[in-house]
Structure 1
Amino acid sequence: MDTPATTVETEVLIVGAGPAGAAAAALLSTYGIDNIVLNKYGSVSNSPRAHITNQRTVEVFRDLGLEGEVIRQATPQHLMGEHVYATSLAGDELGRLRTWYTHPHFKAEHDLASPCSVCDLPQDLLEPILVGAASSRGSSVRFDTELLTFTQDDDGVTARVRDRLAGTEYHIRSKYLIGADGGNSTVVKQLGLPLVGEMGSGGSINVVFEADLTRFVEHRPGDMYWFVQPGVGHGGGGIGVLRMVRPWAKWIGVWGYDVTAGTPSLTEADGIRIAHQLIGDDSVPVKIESMSTWAVNQVYAEDNTKGRVMCVGDAVHRHSPMNGLGSNTSIQDSYNLCWKLALVLRGQAAPTLLDSYREERVPVGRQIVDRASRSEGLMPPIFQALNLPRTPDAQSMQNALAALSEPTTAAWERRRAFDSALQDTIMCFNTHGVETNQNYRSNAVVPDGTPDSDAPRDEELYHFATTRPGRHLPHLWVTRDQQRVSTFDLCGKGGFSLLTGVSGGAWRDAAREISERLGVPIRVHTIGHGGDYEDSYGDYAAQSEVEEDGAILVRPDHIVGWRAATLPANPAAALGDALEQILGLRSGSSAATDDGVKVAVDA
Structure 2
Amino acid sequence: MYQTDVLIIGAGPTGSTTALALANSGVRCHIVSRGNWMADSPRAHITNQRANEVFRDLGVSDDVARYASPWELMGDTTFTTSLAGPELIRMRTWGTGDDRRGDYLRASPCGMVDIIQPLLEPILFQKAAEKGATFAFNTEYVGHEQDADGVTATLRDRLDGREFAVRARYMVGADGARSSVVEHLGLPIEGRMARAGTVYTIFNADLSRYSKHRPSILNWIVTPDASFGEIGMGLLRAVRPWTQWIAGWGFDINKGDPDLSESNVREKIRILIGDPAIEPDIVRTSVWYINQAYATQYSKERVLCGGDAVHRHPPSSGLGNNTCVQDGHNLGWKLAYVVKGWAGPKLLESYSQERAPVGKQVVLRANQSRLDYAPLNACFRVPGAENPVAAGIVRFRDPGPEGVAARKAAQAALDLKQTEFNAQGVEMNQRYESSAVVPDEGDGPEEWRRDRDLYNQPTTRPGAKIPHAWLVGPDGKRMSTLDVTGKGLFTVVTGLAGTAWTEAVRRIDLPFLRIVVTGSPDAQDLYCEWQRVREIEEAGALLVRPDGVVAWRDKAGTSDSAEAEKRLSAAIRAVLDLPNLSAIPRETRRAPATSGDTPLFA
Residue equivalent to 1:522:
513
Residue equivalent to 2:565:
572
Does the 8 Å contact 2:500/2:564 carry over to 1?
Answer: yes
Cα offsets for 1:332-353 (capped at 9, x unmatched): 0111111011010001110011
Q: 1:268-417 maps to which residues of 2 (within 5 A)?
A: 268-388=262-382, 395-417=387-409
Q: Measured at CA, do residues 211 and 285 of structure 1 come closer, stay the same or move farther in structure 2, by a change above 3 Å?
A: same
Q: Measured at CA, do residues 234 and 159 of structure 1 come closer, stay the same or move farther in structure 2, by a change above 3 Å?
A: farther
Aligned residue among 445, 465, 469 for 1:472 = 465
Does the 8 Å contact 1:314/1:330 carry over to 2?
Answer: yes
The alignment status of 1:130 with 2:130, answered yes or no, reads no
Q: CA deviation at 1:376?
A: 1.3
Q: CA deviation at 1:275?
A: 1.8
Does the 8 Å contact 1:210/1:286 carry over to 2?
Answer: yes
Does the 8 Å contact 1:512/1:522 carry over to 2?
Answer: no
Q: CA deviation at 1:167?
A: 1.4
Q: CA deviation at 1:145?
A: 0.3
2:269 counterpart SS class:
helix
Mapped partners of 1:119, 1:387: distance in 2: 34
Residue equivalent to 1:439:
431
Does the 8 Å contact 2:173/2:179 carry over to 1?
Answer: yes
Residue equivalent to 1:463:
456
Q: CA deviation at 1:28?
A: 0.9
Amino acid at match of 1:308: R
Q: CA deviation at 1:522?
A: 1.2
The alignment status of 1:556 with 2:556, answered yes or no, reads no
The alignment status of 1:29 with 2:29, answered yes or no, reads no
Amino acid at match of 1:15: I
Q: CA deviation at 1:196?
A: 0.6
Mapped partners of 2:197, 2:485: distance in 1: 43
Residue equivalent to 2:421:
429
1:75 counterpart SS class:
coil
Does the 8 Å contact 2:381/2:388 carry over to 1?
Answer: no
Aligned residue among 437, 440, 444 for 1:448 = 440
Cα offsets for 1:121-140 (capped at 9, x unmatched): 00010011111111111111
Aligned residue among 143, 158, 164 for 2:137 = 143
Mapped partners of 1:233, 1:441: distance in 2: 45
Amino acid at match of 2:363: V
Residue equivalent to 1:69:
63
Mapped partners of 2:414, 2:229: distance in 1: 16
Q: CA deviation at 1:265?
A: 5.1
Cα offsets for 1:550-584 (capped at 9, x unmatched): 11111000000111112233100010000110001
Cα offsets for 1:222-246 (capped at 9, x unmatched): 1000111247755524200110111
Does the 8 Å contact 2:8/2:29 carry over to 1?
Answer: yes
Q: CA deviation at 1:593?
A: 9.1
Does the 8 Å contact 2:234/2:248 carry over to 1?
Answer: yes
Mapped partners of 1:249, 1:296: distance in 2: 27
Mapped partners of 1:485, 1:107: distance in 2: 20
Cα offsets for 1:500-548 (capped at 9, x unmatched): 1111122112112223xxx4421111111x4431111011112111111
Mapped partners of 1:191, 1:234: distance in 2: 38
Cα offsets for 1:419-445 (capped at 9, x unmatched): 322342222211111111110111111
2:353 counterpart SS class:
helix
Mapped partners of 2:29, 2:186: distance in 1: 24
Q: CA deviation at 1:375?
A: 1.1
Residue equivalent to 1:536:
526
Cα offsets for 1:361-409 (capped at 9, x unmatched): 111011111111221111112222344459x98x332122112222222
Residue equivalent to 1:88:
82
Does the 8 Å contact 2:293/2:311 carry over to 1?
Answer: yes
Does the 8 Å contact 1:471/1:560 carry over to 2?
Answer: yes
Q: CA deviation at 1:264?
A: 2.9
Does the 8 Å contact 1:231/1:238 carry over to 2?
Answer: no
In the superposition, the TM-score normalised over structure 1's length comes to: 0.93
Q: CA deviation at 1:97?
A: 0.3
Mapped partners of 1:94, 1:176: distance in 2: 54
Moved more, 173-182 or 532-541: 532-541
Q: CA deviation at 1:185?
A: 0.4
Amino acid at match of 1:576: S
Structure 1, gaps ≥5 residues long = 595-603
Q: May I ask how many residue pairs the two structures share in their alignment?
A: 581
Residue equivalent to 1:598:
none
In the superposition, the TM-score normalised over structure 2's length comes to: 0.93
2:439 counterpart SS class:
coil
The alignment status of 1:495 with 2:489, answered yes or no, reads yes
Does the 8 Å contact 1:49/1:122 carry over to 2?
Answer: yes
Aligned residue among 167, 179, 202 for 1:185 = 179
Does the 8 Å contact 2:231/2:371 carry over to 1?
Answer: no
The alignment status of 1:545 with 2:535, answered yes or no, reads yes
Mapped partners of 1:233, 1:440: distance in 2: 42
Does the 8 Å contact 1:317/1:366 carry over to 2?
Answer: yes
Q: Measured at CA, do residues 593 and 476 of structure 1 come closer, stay the same or move farther in structure 2, by a change above 3 Å?
A: closer
Mapped partners of 1:16, 1:149: distance in 2: 14
Does the 8 Å contact 2:472/2:522 carry over to 1?
Answer: no
Mapped partners of 1:53, 1:342: distance in 2: 26
Q: Measured at CA, do residues 282 and 591 of structure 1 come closer, stay the same or move farther in structure 2, by a change above 3 Å?
A: farther
Residue equivalent to 1:600:
none
The alignment status of 1:420 with 2:423, answered yes or no, reads no
Cα offsets for 1:408-467 (capped at 9, x unmatched): 223322222233223422222111111111101111111113333222011111100011
1:79 counterpart SS class:
helix
Mapped partners of 2:68, 2:243: distance in 1: 14
Q: Measured at CA, do residues 413 and 105 of structure 1 come closer, stay the same or move farther in structure 2, by a change above 3 Å?
A: closer
Q: CA deviation at 1:268?
A: 3.2
Mapped partners of 2:236, 2:402: distance in 1: 32
Q: CA deviation at 1:358?
A: 1.1
Residue equivalent to 1:597:
none
Mapped partners of 1:280, 1:324: distance in 2: 26
Mapped partners of 1:284, 1:143: distance in 2: 39
Moved more, 221-230 or 263-272: 263-272
Does the 8 Å contact 2:225/2:271 carry over to 1?
Answer: no
1:56 counterpart SS class:
helix
2:440 counterpart SS class:
coil
Mapped partners of 2:213, 2:566: distance in 1: 61
Moved more, 405-414 or 221-230: 405-414
1:406 counterpart SS class:
coil
Identity of aligned residues (%): 43
Q: Measured at CA, do residues 12 and 388 of structure 1 come closer, stay the same or move farther in structure 2, by a change above 3 Å?
A: farther
Q: Measured at CA, do residues 59 and 226 of structure 1 come closer, stay the same or move farther in structure 2, by a change above 3 Å?
A: same
